[in-house]
Amino acid sequence: MSPDVDLTVPKPGRHALRDRLLALDSRLFEFAAERNWPYAERVLPRLSRSANHGVLWFATAAAIAAGSTPRGRRAAARGLASLSLASLTINTLGKRSVRRPRPVLDPVPLVRQLKRQPITTSFPSGHAASAAAFATGVALESPAWGLVVAPIAWSVALSRVYTGVHFPSDVLAGAALGTGAAFAVRGMVPTRDRLIPPARPRTDVPALPDGAGLVVVANKGARTADRVHALLDALPRAEVVECEPDYIGAELNKAAARARVLGVCGGDGTVNAAAEVALRHGLPLAVLPGGTLNHFAHDLGVEDERDLIRAVRRGEAVRVDVGRFTCDGQHGLFLNTCSLGVYPELVRKRDRFSPRIGAWPAGVLAT
């Protein structure tokens, strides 16, 4: 009888699968390097360099925040917060966990290669993570801005393979991590559409599909011109009266006499004046924010003309409380805040300087 013999047969396992994936990754890299990409030689290397240290995204965030809408400013802030979390994760965990060397540049044409090659490990791509994090963060807060930023982010991620500094899997992993970072930020700080609005009783108001019966008084002293013109484009039969701040009260009373819905475009002070007139005439009040802070309008969820247009067309409205006060024998009302002491003094000083240096610098100076 022959002795027993143990026969060991190798089975494909995790290492074999990993090797196949790495081989596929290398072939994809070489395939991309061999392709002729029209017009990319002038654009992608420069775009890749501009994203170093997040410079491109900080500039983009500044451009978005420079707009007049709070949604845009929130989108810029959320994009930068997402980018910061993604970069922190990449630099503390990602690069140190998988010490993958950079691709060999031999297949990449010299004209595509970056003048200064990165010295960190290859996996995952920090540029792709930052691009995906910023674009996703912006899109979660403002889908419109997200559509603008997404092609730029995609091009930055693509440029990392095009210039030969990353394998395709590095870019995909980085993009996935960046997207996850944006959703993690939303988990910590919910976007406005995920916040539960304050409970307010709904009420019936006339629906004005084309704006007929809506008379809007706009304060020229506020940022109203662009918004009221956009309002008229969507509600062509609405009437808009633009006037100087000193004539707001008189124009509101005239408008109330012929309106089914009284509209106002201006800051919180202008809205307060309109609320008093609307109460006296028993009219619904349509508020279009046009001032510096617009606390009341934003608390209602009305951030721009699109929100108001939708509400007017559908006849959507809520009831809100109105507060009354008496000061030195004079009576007034307020909708969302009533301030005493230092803050009114600050506002008076701010208003004194704002015509010359702008509202925000004047607020800092007044403080």
Mean pLDDT by 10 residues, the chain (367 residues): 53 61 71 73 83 91 83 91 92 74 72 73 86 95 93 91 83 92 92 72 90 92 77 91 89 94 89 92 92 81 87 92 86 83 88 83 88
Report the pLDDT value the prediction gives residue 62, as an integer from 0 to 100: 92
Instruction: Spell out the alpha helix ranges (H) of the chain.
Output: 14-34, 40-50, 55-65, 70-89, 95-97, 126-141, 143-162, 168-188, 225-234, 248-256, 268-281, 295-300, 305-314, 342-357, 359-366
Token pair 């403080």 is at which residue? 367
* pLDDT attached to residue 209: 93
pLDDT score recorded for residue 274: 93
Q: Which two tokens stand for residue 21?
A: 């994936």
Do residues 85 and 181 lie in contact, with contact meaning Cβ atoms separated by under 8 Å? yes
Distance, in Å, from the CA atom of 247 to the CA atom of 251, rounded to the nearest integer, reads 6
For 278-308, the pLDDT digits (tens) are: 999 999 999 998 877 788 888 888 888 888 9
The whole-angstrom separation of Cα 290 and Cα 193 is 22
Residue ranges of domains in the chain:
16-193, 214-336, 338-367
Query: Residue 266: left if φ>0, alpha if ψ -120 to 50, beta else—which one?
Result: left
- The pLDDT of residue 197: 65
pLDDT at 12: 55
Report the alpha-carbon distance of residue 367 to residue 364 in Å, rounded. 5
As a whole number of angstroms, the distance between CA 294 and CA 292 comes to 6
CATH of 214-336, one of 3.40.50.10330, 2.102.10.10, 3.40.50.720, 3.30.1370.100: 3.40.50.10330
**DSSP 3-state assignment of 118?**
coil
For residue 1, the model assigns a pLDDT of 47
CA–CA gap between residue 94 and residue 100 (Å, rounded): 11
Pick the CATH number of 16-193 from 2.102.10.10, 1.10.10.60, 1.10.606.20, 3.30.470.10: 1.10.606.20
277 touches 262 (CB < 8 A): yes
> Rounded to an integer, what distance in angstroms lies between the CA atom of residue 363 and that of residue 367?
6
Q: What are phi and psi of 190, to 5 degrees?
A: -60, 145
For 154-193, b/e burial (b = at least 16 CB within 10 A) is: ebbbbbbbbbbbbbbbbbbbbbebbbbbbeebbeeeebee
